């Protein structure tokens, strides 16, 4: 039939195409498929790398905010809390290891990720303790000068006691600025001596409350600084770098 003749002619034309052209077409198809698969791999790699580097960026920002909170320049902890929450989310994202990573590489990444997560959990716990201690410290640093000012204005306070209270205030503020440990023993001794005098002072209860703030400052300041040093020293940044280089 006429239709059969037409199909025979088309099939003959196909058979007449040199084999090298067919092979070339097949190679081109394979190349295109490979390029597409590599594009997906590059996207996964870029996503994974960006998440890793974001953790390093958050680590630096958290350290900076902790230092500012200690110095009273940051008066609320929301930025630190939000950054810690973002680190947790990034760790969850990083559990999705790129599909192109082989089994050995996947196990290595999972091990390093677990180590990084453990260090961050420890860091978060210490930051929570720092926040609690620092809040108490900042409160006393705010009210101690006010309490001293209120006391020295009382007409019933002995002038000699006024001088001692003003000296105590100056020394504590100096200690807060310098963290000079040599100031600690004489300041603590002065606090104890003033507490002993409080029973015979007209403003006994106010003096005790004022000295309570002084004791809090002296006891909490060193603890807060120790927490800060621990937070800074924890190798979260190195752990993140290990993940990036893995």
Per-residue pLDDT of the chain (246 residues; tens, 9 = 90+): 544 454 455 545 544 545 544 444 444 444 444 444 444 466 766 777 788 888 889 999 999 999 999 999 999 999 999 999 999 999 888 888 777 667 777 778 788 888 888 899 999 999 999 999 999 999 999 999 999 999 888 888 888 888 999 999 999 999 988 888 899 999 999 999 998 887 777 788 888 999 999 999 999 998 999 999 999 998 876 655 655 555
Residue 124: closest CA among 222, 226, 239, 234: 234
C-alpha 74/C-alpha 61 separation (Å) is 13
C-alpha 198/C-alpha 201 separation (Å) is 5
CB burial string 177-215: b at 16+ within 10 A, e below: eeeeeebeeebeebbeebeebbeebebeebbeebbbbbe
Residue 90: closest CA among 42, 58, 136, 123: 58
CB burial string 48-57: b at 16+ within 10 A, e below: beebbebbbe
DSSP label at residue 122: H
Q: Which SS3 state, helix, strand or coil, does residue 157 take? A: coil
C-alpha 184/C-alpha 176 separation (Å) is 11
Instruction: With beta carbons less than 8 A apart as the criterion, state whether 151 and 157 touch.
Output: yes
Helix pair angle (159-178, 103-152), 10° resolution = 160
Whole-structure pTM value? 0.74
């Amino acid at each position: 039939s006429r239709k059969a003749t037409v199909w025979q002619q088309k099939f003959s034309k196909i058979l007449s195409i040199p084999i090298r052209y067919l092979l070339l077409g097949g190679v081109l198809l394979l190349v295109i498929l490979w390029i597409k698969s590599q594009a997906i791999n590059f996207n996964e790699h870029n996503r994974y790398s960006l998440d890793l580097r974001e953790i390093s960026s958050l680590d630096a920002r958290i350290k900076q905010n902790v230092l500012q909170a200690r110095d009273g320049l940051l008066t609320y902890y929301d930025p630190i809390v939000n950054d810690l929450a973002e680190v947790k989310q990034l760790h969850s994202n990083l559990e999705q290891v790129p599909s192109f990573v082989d089994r050995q590489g996947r196990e290595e990444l999972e091990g390093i990720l677990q180590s990084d997560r453990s260090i961050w959990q420890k860091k978060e716990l210490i930051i929570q303790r720092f926040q609690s201690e620092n809040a108490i410290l900042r409160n006393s640093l705010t009210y101690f000068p006010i309490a001293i000012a209120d006391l020295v204005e009382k007409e019933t306070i002995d002038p000699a006691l006024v001088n001692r209270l003003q000296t105590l205030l100056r020394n504590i503020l100096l200690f807060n600025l310098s963290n000079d440990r040599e100031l600690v023993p004489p300041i603590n001794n002065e606090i104890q001596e003033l507490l002993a005098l409080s029973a015979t002072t007209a403003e006994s209860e106010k003096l005790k409350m004022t000295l309570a703030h002084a004791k809090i400052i002296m006891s909490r300041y060193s603890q807060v600084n120790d927490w800060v040093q621990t937070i800074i020293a924890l190798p979260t940044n190195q752990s993140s770098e290990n993940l990036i280089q893995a």
